[in-house]
DNA sequence: GCCGAGACTGGAAGCGGTTGCGCACTTCCA
DNA sequence: TGGAAGTGCGCAACCGCTTCCAGTCTCGGC
């Protein structure tokens, strides 16, 4: 036994009367072990409660772990992706490890480096704000799947909600209800990253496009809010002052809930629609219309792509997940 | 350069014209390096974009990582703890890694083993359902802090919400509003683990205690629901049938929201109070009365205890976080 | 001028696994 | 019966970093 008290592969080998190399083969299910040896080794492993150390394996072999980079664990949509991913990993030999990017400073991809330092076998990243060339460099060494990126590259795979279609649906819905003065609320910092097309940016562009096509280009109005959880009073005022829109489309779920609250609190008849669904959007007391992206599906697809890459696929894959509009009480016909 | 393309400590040493041992000392900030050597080494590190591999460090030294075991990332309260923990880790040299326990099967502590296999320097676990002796064994090897455990042991630290005080406050609130027929809704599987005192169990006991003391022992009524996110129709029926209580206390936030929804949908005048606060509980359209536990504070305290342990403390510490009652519209005076 | 203390620095031995390769032993076919 | 092919297993060399320890160099005090 080593000093730490835990058994090593040598202890197992000694007890089973075989070489450490043989034990290694057994635990990896590698070729070239007789049933009798396997049996003895497995008994020894059991008896010593042996567990291979990930670090030692990583020195030469594989860590059998998938790194998931998750910004802002408090956002419901992101945890949905996480659920899908961990579920998809369930019956494989790979383990998920999550690195939360808590601070703003880490959003630049530092968290991805941390995962690379851990020599994970693949990375699922939800970071929309990392520069493409940084990702290129990373993907050259480790399989990487990006979620929600609209840039297509050969070096990493992507899984993206169809923001064009989602925006089309919700705009059609609002226009169909008779709305003409429709505003768009977007999170600052999400709409203007050079070289990166974030989902919120795409949605905003599509919003403008649809307004234009409906002959409402002059009525289009984009309000930006700071990067954070709350809609500042100034943005609310900007939107709800007289000459206000009759409907507001919001780029991110949490902000939509806030906006809806602000509208309700003022007793105004302004429709609000958002992106991403949660159980609370469906709560009768809230009933927020939104474009539902299937996060579980997205997480699962990301893992599938990653495992394919690890399995040897070299050409890039780009998957799209179709959103569905959940029309609820927060959007009403214009009076 | 190694085959993987990334620089190793030897590459840095060669470029800087020093020994690998010297580089190691520089990156660890260890004693015994001259300013001039440090300078050269740092330049070489910069030039090669060198990053030490966690696995190799783990072989002899420390991984500088803290493992956080997080059940059910979708529950808001848990992610709050995570936020507090990662924030507290912010300016240390330690990195958080999160292992989500997605499936029911993993709740028995398997996730803790996975963290141990990674040789993390410490573990924060939110798992209420792991047996104490399993934790003892783990804590003998690695510093462990448990959240929300009411069992006090010498081998691991705990951070716990004061469930006695929290229940006292909400019961006083309900009794003060004139409620007499108060029921308690608890998640099955949380209230009857041998040898483990879960928060929900403690709250239930306190509820019964307060009912008794108020001379309402006969009116006390505990309804159990299955272990999951939804309150099954049967439990709702059991609670809301004629002869129903005038107030319902719920052991977990998500269930309280559901229960409130069921009550509202039926147009009944039944007060509902829950545990844990979220921004949505405070949403005017929902306005759920609840006992607010400061998850950020709990996460931060857990990290502080862990760092103390890593720093050498040997005697156990048990911290309590005081909850505060957020009285809202979901609890009203009994008619 | 010598010596001991103190400040740096590097050599080499691990840490616990994996892997390439060779050896011994069987089996198969001519 | 001989040799080729195949199977099962172990030796030893890593993987990249840390740590122990010994060696060198400097410097001040006697």
Q: Average pLDDT over chain A, rounded to whole?
A: 90
Chain A, residues 234-253, CB within 8 A of chain B, namely none
Compute the nearest-CA separation of A125 from chain B (Å). 15
Substitution target from A75, A279, A287, A303 for chain B, most B beta carbons within 10 A: A279
Give yes or no: residues A199 and A85 share one domain.
no
Specify whether A205 is located in the same domain as A285: yes
Cβ <8 Å between A261 and B285: yes
Say yes or no: B175 and B269 in one domain. Answer: yes
pLDDT of residue B214: 96
Q: Under an 8 A CB cutoff, do B100 and A80 touch? A: no
CATH code (residue A289): 3.40.50.2300
Distance A285 CA to C3 C1' (A): 87
Please check whether residues B133 and B245 belong to one and the same domain. no
What Å value separates CA A71 and C1' D18?
A: 33
**Which among B63, B141, B286 has the least Cβ separation from residue A6?**
B141
Instruction: Spell out which residues of chain A touch residue B141, defining contact as CB-CB under 8 Å.
Output: 4-6
Q: Is the C-beta atom of A193 closer than 7 angstroms to strand C?
A: no
Res B1: pLDDT: 37
A267 inside 8 A of chain B by CB: no
Residue A330 is assigned to a structural domain of this protein:
no
Q: What is the CATH number of the domain that holds B32?
A: 1.10.260.40
Q: Please check whether residue A327 lies inside any domain of the structure.
A: no
User: Is the same domain home to B96 and B21?
Assistant: no
Q: For every residue of chain A, which 3-state class applies, written as one string?
A: CCCCCCCCHHHHHHHHCCCHHHHHHHHHCCCCCCHHHHHHHHHHHHHHCCCCCHHHHHHHCCCCEEEEEEECCCCHHHHHHHHHHHHHHCCCCCEEEEEEECCHHHHHCHHHHHHHHCCCCEEEECCCCCCHHHHHHHHHHCCEEEECCCCCCCCCEEEEECHHHHHHHHHHHHHHCCCCCEEEEEECCCCCCCCCCCHHHHHHHHHHHHHHHCCCHHHCEEEEECCCCCCCHHHHHHHHCCCCCCEEEECCHHHHHHHHHHHHHCCCCCEEEEECCCCCCCCCCCCCEEEECCHHHHHHHHHHHHHHHHCCCCCCCEEEECCEEECCCCCCCCC
Given pLDDT bands bounded at 50, 70 and 90, which one contains residue A2? very low
Of the partner residues B6, B55, B82, the one whose CB lies closest to the CB of residue A100: B82
Residues B307, B287 within the same domain: no
Task: Verify if strand C has an atom below 7 Å from the CB of A230.
Answer: no
Do B153 and B299 reside in the same domain of the chain? yes
Is residue A193 one of the residues assigned to a domain?
A: yes
Nearest residue in A to B77, CA atom: A74
Tell whether B173 and B276 lie within a shared domain. Answer: yes
Provide the domain limits for residue B134: 65-161+295-321
pLDDT at A193 over 70: no
Cβ–Cβ contact A265 with B under 8 A: yes
A269 plus A299 within the same structural domain: no
A61 in contact with B, Cβ within 8 Å: no
B287, B302: one domain: no
**Residue A83 shares a structural domain with residue A176:** no
How much is the pLDDT for B107?
Answer: 65
pLDDT of residue B3: 41
Distance B63 CA to D10 C1' (A): 32
- Of all residues in chain A, the percent with pLDDT exceeding 90 is 67
Q: Identify the residue with better confidence: B228 or A251.
A: A251
Identify the segments of chain B with pLDDT beneath 70. Answer: 1-4, 102-107, 190-194
B86 lies in some domain: yes
- pLDDT beyond 70 at A40: yes
Asked, for residue B277, whether it belongs to a domain, the answer is: yes
The pLDDT assigned to A228 comes to 73
A40, A182: one domain: no
Is B271 (CB) below 7 Å from strand D? no
Residue A37 has pLDDT above 80, yes or no: yes
Structurally, chain A folds into a number of domains equal to: 3
Residue A300 lies inside a defined structural domain of this protein = yes
Q: Which of B59, B98, B140 is facing A59, going by the closest CB pair?
A: B59
Q: Is residue B330 part of a domain?
A: no
Q: Is residue B101 part of a domain?
A: yes
Interface of B with A in 279-308 (CB under 8 A): 280, 283-286
A96 touches B at CB < 8 Å: yes
Q: Determine the pLDDT at residue A190.
A: 64
């Amino acid at each position: 036994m080593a000093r730490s008290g835990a058994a090593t592969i040598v202890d197992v080998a000694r007890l089973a009367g075989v070489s450490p190399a043989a034990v290694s083969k057994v635990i990896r299910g590698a070729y070239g072990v007789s049933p009798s040896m396997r049996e003895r080794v497995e008994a020894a492993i059991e008896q010593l409660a042996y567990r291979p150390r990930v670090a030692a394996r990583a020195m030469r072999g594989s860590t059998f772990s998938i790194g998931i980079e998750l910004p802002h664990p408090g956002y419901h949509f992101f945890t949905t992706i996480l659920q899908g991913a961990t579920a998809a990993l369930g019956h494989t030999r790979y383990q998920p490890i999550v690195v939360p990017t808590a601070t703003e400073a880490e959003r630049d991809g530092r968290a991805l480096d941390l995962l690379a330092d851990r020599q994970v076998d693949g990375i699922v990243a939800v970071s929309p704000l990392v520069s493409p060339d940084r990702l290129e460099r990373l993907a050259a060494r480790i399989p990487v799947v990006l979620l929600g990126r609209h840039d297509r590259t050969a070096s990493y795979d992507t899984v993206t909600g169809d923001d064009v279609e989602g925006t089309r649906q919700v705009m059609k819905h609002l226009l169909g209800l008779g709305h003409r003065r429709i505003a768009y609320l977007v999170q600052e910092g999400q709409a203007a990253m050079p070289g990166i097309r974030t989902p919120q940016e795409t949605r905003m562009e599509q919003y403008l496009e649809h307004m234009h096509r409906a002959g409402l280009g002059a009525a289009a109005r984009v309000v930006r809010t700071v990067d954070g959880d709350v809609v500042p009073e100034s943005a609310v005022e900007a939107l709800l002052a007289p000459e206000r829109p009759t409907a507001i489309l919001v780029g991110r779920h949490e902000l939509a809930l806030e906006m809806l609250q602000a509208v309700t609190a003022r007793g105004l008849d302004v429709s609000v629609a958002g992106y991403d669904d949660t159980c609370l959007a469906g709560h009768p007391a809230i009933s927020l219309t939104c474009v539902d992206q299937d996060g579980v599906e997205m997480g699962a697809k990301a893992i599938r792509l990653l495992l394919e890459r690890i399995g040897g696929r070299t050409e890039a894959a780009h998957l799209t997940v179709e959103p569905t509009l959940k029309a609820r009480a927060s959007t009403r016909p214009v009076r």
